[in-house]
Amino acid sequence: MDEEIYVNKPLSLQVIMEILEKYPDLKKIKCPSSLYLRTSKKYLDALSELGIEVEPVLKRGRPKKYGETEARIIQKMLNEGKSPKEIAEKLQMPLKTIYYLKDTKLKRGRKPKYPKETEDKVKKLYKNGLSAKDISKKLKIPLRTVYCLLKR
Protein backbone atom coordinates (compact mmCIF):
# COMPACT_ATOMS: atom_id res chain seq x y z
CA MET A 1 0.00 0.00 0.00
CA ASP A 2 1.24 3.50 0.87
CA GLU A 3 4.85 3.55 1.98
CA GLU A 4 5.10 7.34 1.96
CA ILE A 5 2.55 9.95 3.07
CA TYR A 6 2.41 13.71 3.48
CA VAL A 7 1.06 15.13 6.75
CA ASN A 8 0.23 18.76 7.39
CA LYS A 9 -1.02 18.34 10.98
CA PRO A 10 1.22 18.52 14.06
CA LEU A 11 2.54 15.03 14.88
CA SER A 12 0.98 14.33 18.26
CA LEU A 13 0.60 10.88 19.83
CA GLN A 14 -3.01 10.66 18.65
CA VAL A 15 -2.15 11.65 15.05
CA ILE A 16 0.76 9.17 14.94
CA MET A 17 -1.49 6.34 16.20
CA GLU A 18 -4.14 7.14 13.55
CA ILE A 19 -1.47 7.17 10.83
CA LEU A 20 -0.01 3.82 11.97
CA GLU A 21 -3.47 2.19 12.02
CA LYS A 22 -4.36 3.54 8.58
CA TYR A 23 -0.95 2.82 6.94
CA PRO A 24 0.63 -0.33 8.42
CA ASP A 25 3.35 -0.52 5.69
CA LEU A 26 4.47 3.07 6.20
CA LYS A 27 8.18 3.85 5.63
CA LYS A 28 8.29 7.65 5.35
CA ILE A 29 6.27 10.61 6.62
CA LYS A 30 6.80 13.94 4.88
CA CYS A 31 5.72 17.18 6.54
CA PRO A 32 6.38 20.94 6.23
CA SER A 33 9.71 22.01 7.75
CA SER A 34 7.92 24.36 10.20
CA LEU A 35 5.89 21.40 11.50
CA TYR A 36 8.95 19.15 11.66
CA LEU A 37 10.75 21.66 13.91
CA ARG A 38 7.80 21.66 16.34
CA THR A 39 7.58 17.86 16.56
CA SER A 40 8.82 16.33 19.81
CA LYS A 41 12.18 14.55 19.65
CA LYS A 42 10.59 11.63 21.53
CA TYR A 43 8.03 11.10 18.74
CA LEU A 44 10.72 11.31 16.05
CA ASP A 45 12.89 8.77 17.91
CA ALA A 46 9.93 6.40 18.45
CA LEU A 47 9.02 6.55 14.75
CA SER A 48 12.66 5.96 13.84
CA GLU A 49 12.71 2.81 16.02
CA LEU A 50 9.66 1.58 14.11
CA GLY A 51 11.55 2.09 10.83
CA ILE A 52 9.58 5.17 9.83
CA GLU A 53 11.55 8.18 8.65
CA VAL A 54 10.11 11.68 9.17
CA GLU A 55 11.38 14.06 6.49
CA PRO A 56 10.77 17.80 6.27
CA VAL A 57 9.71 19.11 2.87
CA LEU A 58 11.31 22.40 1.96
CA LYS A 59 8.98 23.56 -0.77
CA ARG A 60 5.32 22.78 -1.28
CA GLY A 61 2.62 24.33 -3.36
CA ARG A 62 2.08 25.16 -6.95
CA PRO A 63 5.21 25.33 -9.12
CA LYS A 64 6.04 28.71 -10.62
CA LYS A 65 4.71 29.31 -14.11
CA TYR A 66 7.47 31.76 -15.10
CA GLY A 67 11.14 31.48 -14.19
CA GLU A 68 14.43 33.36 -14.40
CA THR A 69 14.44 33.36 -18.21
CA GLU A 70 11.19 35.31 -18.42
CA ALA A 71 12.33 37.69 -15.66
CA ARG A 72 15.54 38.48 -17.61
CA ILE A 73 13.57 39.06 -20.83
CA ILE A 74 11.21 41.41 -19.00
CA GLN A 75 14.11 43.31 -17.40
CA LYS A 76 15.85 43.65 -20.77
CA MET A 77 12.70 45.03 -22.38
CA LEU A 78 12.21 47.48 -19.50
CA ASN A 79 15.81 48.67 -19.90
CA GLU A 80 15.09 49.24 -23.61
CA GLY A 81 12.33 51.65 -22.57
CA LYS A 82 9.26 49.51 -23.19
CA SER A 83 6.31 50.01 -20.86
CA PRO A 84 5.00 47.11 -18.75
CA LYS A 85 1.78 47.17 -20.77
CA GLU A 86 3.69 46.80 -24.06
CA ILE A 87 5.73 43.94 -22.60
CA ALA A 88 2.59 42.18 -21.34
CA GLU A 89 1.01 42.40 -24.79
CA LYS A 90 4.15 41.25 -26.61
CA LEU A 91 4.86 38.30 -24.29
CA GLN A 92 1.15 37.53 -23.83
CA MET A 93 1.42 37.62 -20.04
CA PRO A 94 -0.81 39.31 -17.50
CA LEU A 95 0.30 42.86 -16.64
CA LYS A 96 0.38 41.91 -12.95
CA THR A 97 2.95 39.19 -13.74
CA ILE A 98 5.20 41.75 -15.44
CA TYR A 99 5.17 43.90 -12.29
CA TYR A 100 5.84 40.81 -10.16
CA LEU A 101 8.83 39.59 -12.20
CA LYS A 102 10.57 42.94 -12.76
CA ASP A 103 13.67 43.98 -10.79
CA THR A 104 13.38 47.76 -10.96
CA LYS A 105 11.02 49.85 -8.91
CA LEU A 106 8.28 50.84 -11.31
CA LYS A 107 5.42 53.09 -10.46
CA ARG A 108 2.05 52.03 -11.69
CA GLY A 109 -0.15 54.59 -13.35
CA ARG A 110 0.01 57.00 -16.22
CA LYS A 111 3.19 58.38 -17.66
CA PRO A 112 3.56 62.15 -17.27
CA LYS A 113 2.03 64.08 -20.16
CA TYR A 114 4.86 66.60 -20.20
CA PRO A 115 8.52 65.53 -20.41
CA LYS A 116 11.17 66.48 -17.85
CA GLU A 117 12.50 69.19 -20.20
CA THR A 118 9.15 71.02 -20.11
CA GLU A 119 9.12 70.81 -16.32
CA ASP A 120 12.65 72.24 -16.18
CA LYS A 121 11.71 75.02 -18.61
CA VAL A 122 8.68 75.97 -16.50
CA LYS A 123 10.77 76.08 -13.31
CA LYS A 124 13.49 78.14 -15.01
CA LEU A 125 10.98 80.69 -16.34
CA TYR A 126 9.36 80.92 -12.92
CA LYS A 127 12.75 81.53 -11.27
CA ASN A 128 13.44 84.28 -13.82
CA GLY A 129 10.36 86.14 -12.57
CA LEU A 130 7.66 85.12 -15.06
CA SER A 131 4.25 84.55 -13.51
CA ALA A 132 2.51 81.21 -13.83
CA LYS A 133 -0.11 82.79 -16.07
CA ASP A 134 2.56 84.16 -18.43
CA ILE A 135 4.35 80.78 -18.51
CA SER A 136 1.03 79.14 -19.37
CA LYS A 137 0.51 81.49 -22.32
CA LYS A 138 4.11 81.31 -23.53
CA LEU A 139 4.38 77.48 -23.49
CA LYS A 140 0.70 76.92 -24.36
CA ILE A 141 0.18 74.78 -21.26
CA PRO A 142 -2.91 74.96 -19.00
CA LEU A 143 -2.36 77.15 -15.93
CA ARG A 144 -3.25 74.30 -13.59
CA THR A 145 -0.55 72.14 -15.23
CA VAL A 146 2.03 74.91 -14.73
CA TYR A 147 1.28 74.90 -11.00
CA CYS A 148 1.54 71.07 -10.92
CA LEU A 149 4.88 71.15 -12.73
CA LEU A 150 6.19 73.78 -10.28
CA LYS A 151 5.24 71.55 -7.32
CA ARG A 152 7.24 68.54 -8.58
48-101 pLDDT per residue, tens: 999 999 999 887 677 778 888 888 899 899 889 888 899 999 999 998 888 888
2-13 pLDDT per residue, tens: 688 888 888 889
What strands, in cross-sheet order, belong to the sheet with 28-32? 4-6, 28-32, 53-57
18-53 pLDDT per residue, tens: 999 998 889 999 988 888 889 999 999 999 999 999
Given a contact cutoff of 8 angstroms between Cβ atoms, the answer to whether 124 and 146 are in contact is no
Give pTM, 2 decimals.
0.41
Give the span between the Cα atoms of 2 and 12, in whole angstroms: 20
152 pLDDT band, cuts 50/70/90, is: confident
Q: From the CB of residue 132, how many other CB atoms can be counted at a distance below 10 Å?
A: 18
Domain boundaries, the chain: 4-57, 68-101, 116-151
Q: ∠46-52-55 over CA atoms, to 5°?
A: 100
Mutual orientation of helices 132-139 and 116-127 as an angle, nearest 10°?
A: 140
